[in-house]
Amino acid sequence: MMTELWLSRAGLFIPLALAFVLFTLVLKWITIKKGEQLLSGLHALLHMLKIRIIKNEYAAVWAKNHPRLVVFLKARIDNTVFTGRPLSIFALALFYVVALFAGIVEDFITSDSITAADIRIANLFYILRNDTLTHIFTWITLLGKLEIITVVVLSSLIILFIWHKKYFIYPFLVAAIGSLSFTWLGKLAFQRARPEFAVYLEDSFSFPSGHSSIAVAIYGFLGYLLIRSTHYWSHKVNLFFATAILALLIGFSRVYLGVHYISDVWSGYLVGAMWLIIGITLSEWLRHTSSARSLTLASSKRRLLTGALIFGTFLFYGSFALNYHPPLRPVPVASDITVSKVTDIFTTEQLQYTEDLIGKRQEPISFIFQASDKQTLISAMQAAGWHLIDNSDIPSFINAIKSLTSEKPYPSAPIYPSFWNAKIQDVAFRKITNSNWLKDAHHLKIWQTNYKSQDGKDLYVGMVSADKGFKWGIIPVITPDLNAEREQLYRDLLLANKINTSLKMQIRNPEIGYNFKGDPFFSDGYMYVLSLQ
Protein backbone atom coordinates (compact mmCIF):
# COMPACT_ATOMS: atom_id res chain seq x y z
CA MET A 1 0.00 0.00 0.00
CA MET A 2 2.93 2.35 0.62
CA THR A 3 3.87 2.35 -3.04
CA GLU A 4 0.22 2.58 -4.04
CA LEU A 5 0.09 5.71 -1.91
CA TRP A 6 3.31 7.17 -3.32
CA LEU A 7 2.08 6.58 -6.87
CA SER A 8 -1.39 8.01 -6.27
CA ARG A 9 -2.18 11.50 -7.49
CA ALA A 10 -1.72 13.17 -4.11
CA GLY A 11 1.12 10.79 -3.33
CA LEU A 12 2.89 11.82 -6.49
CA PHE A 13 2.70 15.50 -5.62
CA ILE A 14 3.33 15.67 -1.87
CA PRO A 15 6.34 13.32 -1.51
CA LEU A 16 7.97 14.69 -4.65
CA ALA A 17 7.54 18.25 -3.39
CA LEU A 18 9.01 17.32 -0.01
CA ALA A 19 11.82 15.36 -1.64
CA PHE A 20 12.62 18.32 -3.89
CA VAL A 21 12.80 20.70 -0.92
CA LEU A 22 14.98 18.29 1.05
CA PHE A 23 17.27 17.61 -1.91
CA THR A 24 17.66 21.34 -2.58
CA LEU A 25 18.50 22.12 1.03
CA VAL A 26 21.05 19.30 1.23
CA LEU A 27 22.63 20.25 -2.09
CA LYS A 28 22.82 23.91 -1.05
CA TRP A 29 24.41 22.98 2.27
CA ILE A 30 27.01 20.77 0.56
CA THR A 31 27.76 23.51 -1.97
CA ILE A 32 28.25 26.12 0.76
CA LYS A 33 30.44 23.85 2.90
CA LYS A 34 32.45 22.02 0.25
CA GLY A 35 31.87 23.90 -3.02
CA GLU A 36 35.00 26.08 -2.91
CA GLN A 37 37.16 23.10 -1.97
CA LEU A 38 35.72 21.05 -4.82
CA LEU A 39 36.37 23.85 -7.31
CA SER A 40 39.93 24.26 -6.04
CA GLY A 41 40.49 20.52 -6.28
CA LEU A 42 39.11 20.45 -9.81
CA HIS A 43 41.34 23.36 -10.80
CA ALA A 44 44.38 21.57 -9.35
CA LEU A 45 43.45 18.36 -11.15
CA LEU A 46 43.12 20.12 -14.49
CA HIS A 47 46.43 21.92 -13.94
CA MET A 48 48.14 18.61 -13.16
CA LEU A 49 46.61 17.09 -16.29
CA LYS A 50 47.90 20.03 -18.31
CA ILE A 51 51.45 19.52 -16.96
CA ARG A 52 51.35 15.81 -17.75
CA ILE A 53 50.24 16.48 -21.32
CA ILE A 54 52.98 19.06 -21.81
CA LYS A 55 55.67 16.66 -20.52
CA ASN A 56 54.38 13.72 -22.58
CA GLU A 57 56.85 12.93 -25.41
CA TYR A 58 54.11 12.01 -27.86
CA ALA A 59 52.28 15.24 -27.13
CA ALA A 60 55.54 17.15 -27.66
CA VAL A 61 56.00 15.55 -31.09
CA TRP A 62 52.39 16.28 -32.02
CA ALA A 63 52.75 19.91 -30.89
CA LYS A 64 55.91 20.31 -32.98
CA ASN A 65 54.05 19.07 -36.06
CA HIS A 66 51.00 21.30 -35.46
CA PRO A 67 52.32 24.66 -34.22
CA ARG A 68 49.37 26.78 -35.36
CA LEU A 69 46.84 24.51 -33.69
CA VAL A 70 48.86 24.54 -30.47
CA VAL A 71 48.89 28.34 -30.48
CA PHE A 72 45.13 28.36 -30.99
CA LEU A 73 44.51 25.88 -28.15
CA LYS A 74 46.79 27.81 -25.77
CA ALA A 75 44.87 30.97 -26.55
CA ARG A 76 41.57 29.17 -25.80
CA ILE A 77 42.67 28.11 -22.30
CA ASP A 78 44.47 31.32 -21.35
CA ASN A 79 42.79 32.58 -18.18
CA THR A 80 44.50 35.97 -18.21
CA VAL A 81 42.27 37.37 -20.97
CA PHE A 82 38.52 37.14 -21.49
CA THR A 83 38.91 35.78 -25.04
CA GLY A 84 40.76 32.80 -23.60
CA ARG A 85 39.33 30.35 -21.08
CA PRO A 86 36.23 32.40 -20.08
CA LEU A 87 35.04 32.75 -23.68
CA SER A 88 35.79 29.07 -24.37
CA ILE A 89 33.63 28.01 -21.41
CA PHE A 90 30.76 30.26 -22.52
CA ALA A 91 31.03 28.97 -26.10
CA LEU A 92 30.95 25.32 -25.00
CA ALA A 93 27.96 26.01 -22.73
CA LEU A 94 26.09 27.76 -25.54
CA PHE A 95 26.85 24.94 -27.98
CA TYR A 96 25.59 22.37 -25.48
CA VAL A 97 22.33 24.24 -24.83
CA VAL A 98 21.74 24.80 -28.57
CA ALA A 99 22.27 21.05 -29.13
CA LEU A 100 19.72 20.26 -26.40
CA PHE A 101 17.22 22.64 -27.95
CA ALA A 102 17.75 21.12 -31.39
CA GLY A 103 17.14 17.69 -29.83
CA ILE A 104 13.87 18.68 -28.19
CA VAL A 105 12.67 20.28 -31.44
CA GLU A 106 13.53 17.09 -33.33
CA ASP A 107 11.71 14.98 -30.72
CA PHE A 108 8.70 17.29 -30.85
CA ILE A 109 8.49 16.92 -34.63
CA THR A 110 9.29 13.22 -35.00
CA SER A 111 8.61 11.45 -31.69
CA ASP A 112 5.08 10.37 -30.86
CA SER A 113 6.19 9.34 -27.36
CA ILE A 114 6.99 12.97 -26.46
CA THR A 115 3.50 14.07 -27.47
CA ALA A 116 1.94 11.09 -25.70
CA ALA A 117 3.80 11.86 -22.46
CA ASP A 118 2.90 15.55 -22.71
CA ILE A 119 -0.82 14.80 -22.98
CA ARG A 120 -0.85 12.28 -20.13
CA ILE A 121 1.16 14.52 -17.80
CA ALA A 122 -1.22 17.39 -18.59
CA ASN A 123 -4.18 15.15 -17.76
CA LEU A 124 -2.47 14.08 -14.53
CA PHE A 125 -2.02 17.67 -13.39
CA TYR A 126 -5.62 18.41 -14.30
CA ILE A 127 -6.67 15.84 -11.69
CA LEU A 128 -4.20 17.27 -9.14
CA ARG A 129 -5.63 20.78 -9.23
CA ASN A 130 -7.44 22.41 -6.36
CA ASP A 131 -8.47 26.01 -5.72
CA THR A 132 -5.71 26.77 -3.21
CA LEU A 133 -2.83 25.52 -5.35
CA THR A 134 -4.33 27.09 -8.45
CA HIS A 135 -4.40 30.46 -6.66
CA ILE A 136 -0.78 30.07 -5.47
CA PHE A 137 0.56 29.06 -8.86
CA THR A 138 -1.40 31.86 -10.54
CA TRP A 139 0.55 34.35 -8.43
CA ILE A 140 3.79 32.58 -9.34
CA THR A 141 3.03 32.44 -13.05
CA LEU A 142 2.34 36.18 -13.10
CA LEU A 143 6.06 36.73 -12.53
CA GLY A 144 6.43 35.84 -16.21
CA LYS A 145 3.55 38.03 -17.40
CA LEU A 146 4.61 40.70 -19.88
CA GLU A 147 3.28 43.58 -17.73
CA ILE A 148 5.27 42.41 -14.70
CA ILE A 149 8.38 41.69 -16.75
CA THR A 150 8.26 45.17 -18.29
CA VAL A 151 8.27 46.81 -14.86
CA VAL A 152 11.01 44.46 -13.60
CA VAL A 153 13.23 45.20 -16.60
CA LEU A 154 12.71 48.98 -16.47
CA SER A 155 13.38 49.12 -12.72
CA SER A 156 16.50 46.99 -13.15
CA LEU A 157 17.81 49.21 -15.95
CA ILE A 158 17.36 52.34 -13.83
CA ILE A 159 19.13 50.71 -10.88
CA LEU A 160 22.03 49.66 -13.11
CA PHE A 161 22.28 53.19 -14.46
CA ILE A 162 22.35 54.98 -11.10
CA TRP A 163 24.91 52.51 -9.75
CA HIS A 164 27.24 53.14 -12.71
CA LYS A 165 26.84 49.57 -14.06
CA LYS A 166 26.15 50.74 -17.58
CA TYR A 167 28.15 47.89 -19.12
CA PHE A 168 25.46 45.50 -17.87
CA ILE A 169 22.55 47.38 -19.46
CA TYR A 170 23.14 46.38 -23.08
CA PRO A 171 23.70 42.65 -22.30
CA PHE A 172 20.58 42.62 -20.10
CA LEU A 173 18.52 44.05 -22.93
CA VAL A 174 20.03 41.54 -25.36
CA ALA A 175 19.10 38.62 -23.07
CA ALA A 176 15.58 39.94 -22.45
CA ILE A 177 14.68 40.99 -26.00
CA GLY A 178 16.45 38.01 -27.54
CA SER A 179 14.59 35.45 -25.44
CA LEU A 180 11.22 37.12 -26.03
CA SER A 181 11.79 37.43 -29.77
CA PHE A 182 13.11 33.88 -30.19
CA THR A 183 10.16 32.50 -28.24
CA TRP A 184 7.68 34.48 -30.33
CA LEU A 185 9.28 33.20 -33.55
CA GLY A 186 9.20 29.65 -32.20
CA LYS A 187 5.48 29.89 -31.46
CA LEU A 188 4.82 31.09 -35.00
CA ALA A 189 7.00 28.36 -36.49
CA PHE A 190 5.51 25.38 -34.61
CA GLN A 191 1.96 26.67 -33.90
CA ARG A 192 1.25 24.08 -31.23
CA ALA A 193 -2.17 24.31 -29.64
CA ARG A 194 -2.52 24.77 -25.88
CA PRO A 195 -3.44 21.78 -23.67
CA GLU A 196 -7.08 20.79 -23.59
CA PHE A 197 -7.66 21.36 -19.86
CA ALA A 198 -6.01 24.76 -19.33
CA VAL A 199 -7.31 26.86 -16.45
CA TYR A 200 -7.13 30.15 -18.35
CA LEU A 201 -7.60 31.12 -21.94
CA GLU A 202 -4.37 32.01 -23.75
CA ASP A 203 -4.33 33.69 -27.16
CA SER A 204 -0.88 32.47 -28.28
CA PHE A 205 0.60 29.12 -29.25
CA SER A 206 2.18 26.73 -26.79
CA PHE A 207 5.69 25.77 -27.98
CA PRO A 208 8.03 27.00 -26.56
CA SER A 209 6.95 28.50 -23.24
CA GLY A 210 7.55 32.24 -23.05
CA HIS A 211 7.24 32.29 -19.26
CA SER A 212 9.94 29.64 -18.90
CA SER A 213 12.20 31.47 -21.32
CA ILE A 214 11.74 34.71 -19.37
CA ALA A 215 12.32 32.93 -16.06
CA VAL A 216 15.78 31.80 -17.16
CA ALA A 217 16.88 34.72 -19.36
CA ILE A 218 15.63 37.72 -17.33
CA TYR A 219 15.49 36.46 -13.76
CA GLY A 220 18.61 34.42 -14.44
CA PHE A 221 20.46 37.55 -15.53
CA LEU A 222 19.29 39.43 -12.45
CA GLY A 223 20.52 36.52 -10.34
CA TYR A 224 23.87 36.72 -12.14
CA LEU A 225 24.10 40.45 -11.33
CA LEU A 226 23.39 39.82 -7.65
CA ILE A 227 25.91 36.98 -7.51
CA ARG A 228 28.47 39.28 -9.15
CA SER A 229 27.81 41.96 -6.52
CA THR A 230 28.70 39.87 -3.46
CA HIS A 231 32.09 38.56 -2.35
CA TYR A 232 30.87 35.88 0.06
CA TRP A 233 30.66 32.32 -1.22
CA SER A 234 27.62 31.46 0.92
CA HIS A 235 25.75 34.49 -0.43
CA LYS A 236 26.60 33.51 -4.00
CA VAL A 237 25.30 29.99 -3.43
CA ASN A 238 22.09 31.20 -1.79
CA LEU A 239 21.43 33.63 -4.64
CA PHE A 240 22.10 30.92 -7.24
CA PHE A 241 19.66 28.49 -5.63
CA ALA A 242 17.03 31.21 -5.11
CA THR A 243 17.23 32.13 -8.80
CA ALA A 244 17.07 28.49 -9.93
CA ILE A 245 14.08 27.72 -7.69
CA LEU A 246 12.24 30.80 -8.95
CA ALA A 247 12.76 29.70 -12.55
CA LEU A 248 11.62 26.15 -11.73
CA LEU A 249 8.50 27.39 -9.96
CA ILE A 250 7.51 29.63 -12.86
CA GLY A 251 7.89 26.76 -15.30
CA PHE A 252 6.09 24.33 -13.02
CA SER A 253 3.21 26.78 -12.61
CA ARG A 254 2.65 26.71 -16.37
CA VAL A 255 2.30 22.93 -16.36
CA TYR A 256 0.14 22.89 -13.21
CA LEU A 257 -2.24 25.49 -14.63
CA GLY A 258 -2.49 23.47 -17.83
CA VAL A 259 -1.45 26.29 -20.17
CA HIS A 260 1.69 24.48 -21.33
CA TYR A 261 2.92 20.95 -21.90
CA ILE A 262 6.06 19.91 -20.08
CA SER A 263 8.08 19.84 -23.32
CA ASP A 264 7.02 23.48 -23.89
CA VAL A 265 8.50 24.42 -20.54
CA TRP A 266 11.73 22.49 -21.12
CA SER A 267 12.21 24.08 -24.53
CA GLY A 268 11.49 27.50 -22.99
CA TYR A 269 14.18 26.90 -20.39
CA LEU A 270 16.65 26.07 -23.16
CA VAL A 271 15.74 29.18 -25.16
CA GLY A 272 16.17 31.29 -22.03
CA ALA A 273 19.48 29.58 -21.22
CA MET A 274 20.82 30.35 -24.71
CA TRP A 275 20.13 34.05 -24.35
CA LEU A 276 21.28 34.10 -20.73
CA ILE A 277 24.67 32.70 -21.82
CA ILE A 278 24.86 35.24 -24.63
CA GLY A 279 23.98 38.06 -22.23
CA ILE A 280 26.48 36.99 -19.58
CA THR A 281 29.21 36.52 -22.19
CA LEU A 282 28.61 40.00 -23.56
CA SER A 283 28.50 41.55 -20.08
CA GLU A 284 31.77 39.88 -19.04
CA TRP A 285 33.44 41.09 -22.22
CA LEU A 286 32.19 44.64 -21.65
CA ARG A 287 33.19 44.47 -17.99
CA HIS A 288 36.74 43.52 -18.98
CA THR A 289 36.99 46.28 -21.59
CA SER A 290 35.01 49.03 -19.86
CA SER A 291 36.88 52.00 -18.44
CA ALA A 292 34.20 52.43 -15.73
CA ARG A 293 34.85 49.22 -13.85
CA SER A 294 35.66 50.80 -10.50
CA LEU A 295 32.89 50.88 -7.95
CA THR A 296 31.48 54.20 -6.88
CA LEU A 297 30.39 54.33 -3.27
CA ALA A 298 26.65 54.53 -3.02
CA SER A 299 25.19 57.71 -1.65
CA SER A 300 22.10 57.74 0.53
CA LYS A 301 20.13 59.05 -2.45
CA ARG A 302 21.16 56.07 -4.55
CA ARG A 303 20.18 53.65 -1.80
CA LEU A 304 16.88 55.44 -1.29
CA LEU A 305 16.05 55.42 -5.01
CA THR A 306 17.04 51.76 -5.32
CA GLY A 307 14.83 50.82 -2.40
CA ALA A 308 11.95 52.85 -3.80
CA LEU A 309 12.24 51.13 -7.20
CA ILE A 310 12.32 47.65 -5.64
CA PHE A 311 9.40 48.47 -3.36
CA GLY A 312 7.45 49.95 -6.27
CA THR A 313 8.07 46.83 -8.37
CA PHE A 314 6.75 44.56 -5.63
CA LEU A 315 3.82 46.88 -5.05
CA PHE A 316 2.92 46.81 -8.75
CA TYR A 317 3.23 43.01 -8.78
CA GLY A 318 0.94 42.62 -5.78
CA SER A 319 -1.61 45.09 -7.10
CA PHE A 320 -1.59 43.46 -10.53
CA ALA A 321 -2.01 39.98 -9.04
CA LEU A 322 -4.89 41.03 -6.79
CA ASN A 323 -6.74 42.51 -9.75
CA TYR A 324 -5.87 39.76 -12.23
CA HIS A 325 -8.99 37.92 -13.33
CA PRO A 326 -8.33 36.24 -16.67
CA PRO A 327 -11.12 34.52 -18.59
CA LEU A 328 -11.43 30.89 -17.55
CA ARG A 329 -11.26 28.26 -20.22
CA PRO A 330 -14.43 26.13 -20.23
CA VAL A 331 -13.89 22.44 -19.64
CA PRO A 332 -14.40 20.68 -22.96
CA VAL A 333 -17.36 18.31 -22.97
CA ALA A 334 -17.37 15.54 -25.54
CA SER A 335 -20.72 14.95 -27.22
CA ASP A 336 -22.32 11.57 -26.61
CA ILE A 337 -22.17 9.00 -29.41
CA THR A 338 -24.65 6.13 -29.59
CA VAL A 339 -23.20 2.85 -30.87
CA SER A 340 -25.06 -0.17 -32.21
CA LYS A 341 -22.47 -2.56 -30.74
CA VAL A 342 -20.75 -1.66 -27.48
CA THR A 343 -17.42 -2.95 -28.80
CA ASP A 344 -17.54 -0.17 -31.40
CA ILE A 345 -16.03 2.08 -28.74
CA PHE A 346 -12.69 0.43 -29.55
CA THR A 347 -12.12 2.47 -32.70
CA THR A 348 -8.45 1.46 -32.66
CA GLU A 349 -6.65 -1.59 -31.31
CA GLN A 350 -4.79 0.67 -28.87
CA LEU A 351 -8.08 1.42 -27.06
CA GLN A 352 -8.35 -2.23 -26.02
CA TYR A 353 -5.45 -1.63 -23.59
CA THR A 354 -4.49 0.66 -20.77
CA GLU A 355 -1.35 2.74 -21.29
CA ASP A 356 1.70 4.03 -19.48
CA LEU A 357 2.90 7.63 -19.47
CA ILE A 358 4.28 7.52 -23.01
CA GLY A 359 1.35 5.59 -24.48
CA LYS A 360 2.89 2.11 -24.39
CA ARG A 361 0.37 -0.70 -23.97
CA GLN A 362 -0.19 -2.06 -20.48
CA GLU A 363 -2.83 -4.43 -19.06
CA PRO A 364 -5.78 -5.06 -21.42
CA ILE A 365 -9.32 -3.83 -20.84
CA SER A 366 -11.34 -6.68 -19.37
CA PHE A 367 -14.83 -5.14 -18.93
CA ILE A 368 -17.33 -2.91 -20.64
CA PHE A 369 -19.98 -1.74 -18.19
CA GLN A 370 -23.39 -0.38 -19.14
CA ALA A 371 -25.03 1.74 -16.43
CA SER A 372 -27.72 4.38 -16.35
CA ASP A 373 -25.34 6.73 -14.52
CA LYS A 374 -22.12 6.77 -12.52
CA GLN A 375 -23.86 6.27 -9.18
CA THR A 376 -25.49 3.06 -10.43
CA LEU A 377 -22.04 1.77 -11.32
CA ILE A 378 -20.61 2.71 -7.93
CA SER A 379 -23.53 1.18 -6.03
CA ALA A 380 -23.20 -2.09 -7.95
CA MET A 381 -19.49 -2.39 -7.16
CA GLN A 382 -20.00 -1.57 -3.49
CA ALA A 383 -22.79 -4.12 -3.23
CA ALA A 384 -20.35 -6.69 -4.66
CA GLY A 385 -17.88 -6.02 -1.83
CA TRP A 386 -15.59 -3.54 -3.57
CA HIS A 387 -14.54 -0.33 -1.79
CA LEU A 388 -14.66 2.97 -3.66
CA ILE A 389 -11.19 4.55 -3.75
CA ASP A 390 -10.99 7.99 -2.13
CA ASN A 391 -10.07 11.03 -4.17
CA SER A 392 -6.34 11.68 -4.18
CA ASP A 393 -6.02 14.78 -2.04
CA ILE A 394 -4.20 15.90 1.08
CA PRO A 395 -6.82 14.55 3.59
CA SER A 396 -6.77 11.09 2.01
CA PHE A 397 -2.98 11.20 1.95
CA ILE A 398 -2.92 11.95 5.68
CA ASN A 399 -5.44 9.18 6.37
CA ALA A 400 -3.26 6.73 4.45
CA ILE A 401 -0.19 7.72 6.48
CA LYS A 402 -2.16 7.23 9.71
CA SER A 403 -3.31 3.83 8.48
CA LEU A 404 0.23 2.75 7.73
CA THR A 405 1.58 3.88 11.08
CA SER A 406 -1.28 2.32 13.06
CA GLU A 407 -1.33 -0.83 10.86
CA LYS A 408 -5.08 -0.53 10.42
CA PRO A 409 -6.68 -1.36 7.05
CA TYR A 410 -7.59 1.49 4.75
CA PRO A 411 -9.34 -0.19 1.80
CA SER A 412 -10.24 3.18 0.26
CA ALA A 413 -6.65 4.46 0.16
CA PRO A 414 -5.69 6.31 -3.05
CA ILE A 415 -4.30 4.23 -5.88
CA TYR A 416 -1.70 4.99 -8.50
CA PRO A 417 -3.08 6.29 -11.80
CA SER A 418 -3.38 4.34 -15.02
CA PHE A 419 -4.17 5.74 -18.45
CA TRP A 420 -6.69 4.79 -21.11
CA ASN A 421 -7.11 6.89 -24.21
CA ALA A 422 -4.61 9.30 -22.57
CA LYS A 423 -6.95 9.83 -19.58
CA ILE A 424 -6.57 8.86 -15.93
CA GLN A 425 -9.20 6.56 -14.48
CA ASP A 426 -12.41 8.31 -13.45
CA VAL A 427 -13.16 5.97 -10.57
CA ALA A 428 -11.39 3.02 -8.92
CA PHE A 429 -12.23 0.26 -6.44
CA ARG A 430 -10.32 -2.07 -4.15
CA LYS A 431 -11.27 -5.40 -2.58
CA ILE A 432 -9.46 -6.91 0.40
CA THR A 433 -9.84 -10.70 0.61
CA ASN A 434 -7.89 -11.52 3.79
CA SER A 435 -6.16 -9.95 6.76
CA ASN A 436 -2.97 -9.27 4.83
CA TRP A 437 -4.39 -6.10 3.30
CA LEU A 438 -0.98 -4.71 2.34
CA LYS A 439 -0.09 -7.59 0.03
CA ASP A 440 -3.38 -9.10 -1.09
CA ALA A 441 -5.57 -6.48 -2.74
CA HIS A 442 -7.65 -6.54 -5.91
CA HIS A 443 -8.02 -3.36 -7.97
CA LEU A 444 -10.53 -2.18 -10.53
CA LYS A 445 -9.99 1.01 -12.53
CA ILE A 446 -12.83 2.40 -14.63
CA TRP A 447 -12.95 5.08 -17.33
CA GLN A 448 -16.13 6.73 -18.53
CA THR A 449 -16.42 7.02 -22.30
CA ASN A 450 -18.50 9.45 -24.34
CA TYR A 451 -20.44 6.53 -25.82
CA LYS A 452 -23.96 5.29 -25.06
CA SER A 453 -25.64 2.01 -25.81
CA GLN A 454 -28.79 1.88 -27.91
CA ASP A 455 -30.92 1.75 -24.78
CA GLY A 456 -29.37 5.04 -23.61
CA LYS A 457 -27.00 3.70 -20.95
CA ASP A 458 -23.53 5.17 -20.40
CA LEU A 459 -20.61 2.96 -21.38
CA TYR A 460 -17.56 2.48 -19.15
CA VAL A 461 -14.40 0.43 -19.65
CA GLY A 462 -12.60 -1.31 -16.80
CA MET A 463 -9.30 -3.03 -16.08
CA VAL A 464 -8.93 -5.40 -13.13
CA SER A 465 -5.72 -6.65 -11.50
CA ALA A 466 -4.43 -7.80 -8.11
CA ASP A 467 -1.28 -7.55 -6.00
CA LYS A 468 0.49 -10.68 -4.79
CA GLY A 469 3.37 -9.15 -2.83
CA PHE A 470 6.28 -6.75 -3.13
CA LYS A 471 9.61 -6.58 -4.87
CA TRP A 472 12.48 -4.76 -3.20
CA GLY A 473 10.18 -4.51 -0.19
CA ILE A 474 8.12 -1.54 -1.42
CA ILE A 475 6.93 -1.99 -5.03
CA PRO A 476 3.75 -4.09 -5.38
CA VAL A 477 3.81 -6.96 -7.85
CA ILE A 478 0.63 -7.88 -9.72
CA THR A 479 -0.61 -11.43 -10.17
CA PRO A 480 0.05 -12.50 -13.76
CA ASP A 481 -3.32 -14.24 -14.21
CA LEU A 482 -5.61 -11.41 -15.33
CA ASN A 483 -8.21 -13.97 -16.43
CA ALA A 484 -8.74 -15.15 -12.85
CA GLU A 485 -9.18 -11.55 -11.66
CA ARG A 486 -11.74 -10.91 -14.39
CA GLU A 487 -13.73 -14.00 -13.47
CA GLN A 488 -13.60 -13.15 -9.75
CA LEU A 489 -15.13 -9.72 -10.31
CA TYR A 490 -17.80 -11.23 -12.55
CA ARG A 491 -18.72 -13.73 -9.80
CA ASP A 492 -18.85 -10.95 -7.20
CA LEU A 493 -21.31 -8.96 -9.28
CA LEU A 494 -23.31 -12.07 -10.10
CA LEU A 495 -23.63 -13.06 -6.44
CA ALA A 496 -24.69 -9.51 -5.57
CA ASN A 497 -27.44 -9.79 -8.22
CA LYS A 498 -26.22 -6.61 -9.92
CA ILE A 499 -25.97 -7.96 -13.47
CA ASN A 500 -28.92 -7.38 -15.74
CA THR A 501 -27.43 -8.93 -18.86
CA SER A 502 -23.93 -10.28 -19.60
CA LEU A 503 -21.92 -11.27 -22.64
CA LYS A 504 -18.45 -12.79 -22.73
CA MET A 505 -16.54 -12.37 -25.95
CA GLN A 506 -13.02 -12.70 -27.28
CA ILE A 507 -11.76 -9.48 -28.84
CA ARG A 508 -8.00 -10.19 -28.77
CA ASN A 509 -5.68 -13.12 -29.28
CA PRO A 510 -4.19 -14.66 -26.12
CA GLU A 511 -1.10 -12.73 -25.11
CA ILE A 512 1.68 -12.28 -22.58
CA GLY A 513 2.78 -8.78 -21.64
CA TYR A 514 4.53 -6.62 -19.05
CA ASN A 515 3.35 -3.54 -17.21
CA PHE A 516 5.42 -0.41 -16.53
CA LYS A 517 6.89 -1.98 -13.37
CA GLY A 518 8.11 -4.97 -15.36
CA ASP A 519 5.53 -7.41 -13.94
CA PRO A 520 4.45 -10.11 -16.40
CA PHE A 521 0.81 -10.85 -17.08
CA PHE A 522 -1.18 -13.04 -19.45
CA SER A 523 -4.67 -12.78 -20.90
CA ASP A 524 -6.84 -15.10 -22.98
CA GLY A 525 -8.23 -12.12 -24.89
CA TYR A 526 -11.77 -12.38 -23.49
CA MET A 527 -13.76 -9.59 -21.90
CA TYR A 528 -17.21 -9.18 -20.32
CA VAL A 529 -19.92 -6.77 -21.43
CA LEU A 530 -22.11 -6.25 -18.36
CA SER A 531 -25.32 -4.28 -18.07
CA LEU A 532 -25.58 -3.28 -14.40
CA GLN A 533 -28.69 -2.65 -12.34
Q: What is the pLDDT of residues 191-211, one digit of tens each?
A: 888 888 888 888 888 899 999
Amino acid at 240: F
pLDDT at residue 478, as a whole number: 80
Other Cβ atoms closer than 10 A to 152? 19
**pLDDT tens across 440-449, in order?**
788 999 999 9
Average pLDDT over residues 327-335: 77
Alpha-carbon distances, residue 78 vs 61, 74, 91, 278, 281 (angstroms): 22, 6, 14, 20, 16
pLDDT at residue 131, as a whole number: 80
pLDDT at residue 86, as a whole number: 75
Helices (H) then strands (E): counts for the chain: 16, 15
Q: How confident is the model at residue 156 (pLDDT cuts 50, 70, 90)?
A: very high
Contact indicator for 129, 135 with CB cutoff of 8 Å: no
427-432 and 441-452 beta bridge pairing: antiparallel
Q: Examine the pLDDT at 7 and tell me if it is beyond 50.
A: no
489 or 39: which carries more pLDDT confidence? 489
Q: How confident is the model at residue 291 (pLDDT cuts 50, 70, 90)?
A: low
**pLDDT tens across 351-403, in order?**
999 998 888 889 999 999 999 999 999 999 999 999 998 876 666 666 666 66
Cα distance between residue 177 and residue 188, in whole Å? 17
Q: Please, what is the average pLDDT of the chain? A: 84
Helix (H) or strand (E) holding 501: strand 499-506
Cα distance between residue 416 and residue 418, in whole Å? 7
| Segment among 120-124, 153-157, 411-415 with least mean pLDDT | 411-415
pLDDT at residue 380, as a whole number: 93
Phi, psi of 319 (to 5 degrees): -65, -40
Secondary structure (3-state) at 105: helix
**pLDDT tens across 111-136, in order?**
777 888 888 888 888 877 878 888 89
Phi-psi domain of 419 (left: phi exceeds 0; alpha: psi -120 through 50; beta: other): beta
Average pLDDT over residues 284-313: 76
List the chain domain ranges.
122-323, 337-532
Average pLDDT over residues 259-266: 91
Q: Examine the pLDDT at 229 and tell me if it is beyond 90.
A: no
Instruction: Outline where 384-437 has alpha helix (H).
Output: 394-406
pLDDT at residue 474, as a whole number: 63
Percent of the chain with pLDDT over 70: 90
DSSP label at residue 512: E
Average pLDDT over residues 68-72: 78
Tell me the pTM: 0.77
Contact indicator for 358, 113 with CB cutoff of 8 Å: yes
Cα distance between residue 336 and residue 290, in whole Å? 69
Q: What angle do CA 254, 399, 414 make, to 5 degrees?
A: 55
**pLDDT tens across 71-98, in order?**
777 777 777 777 777 788 888 888 888 8
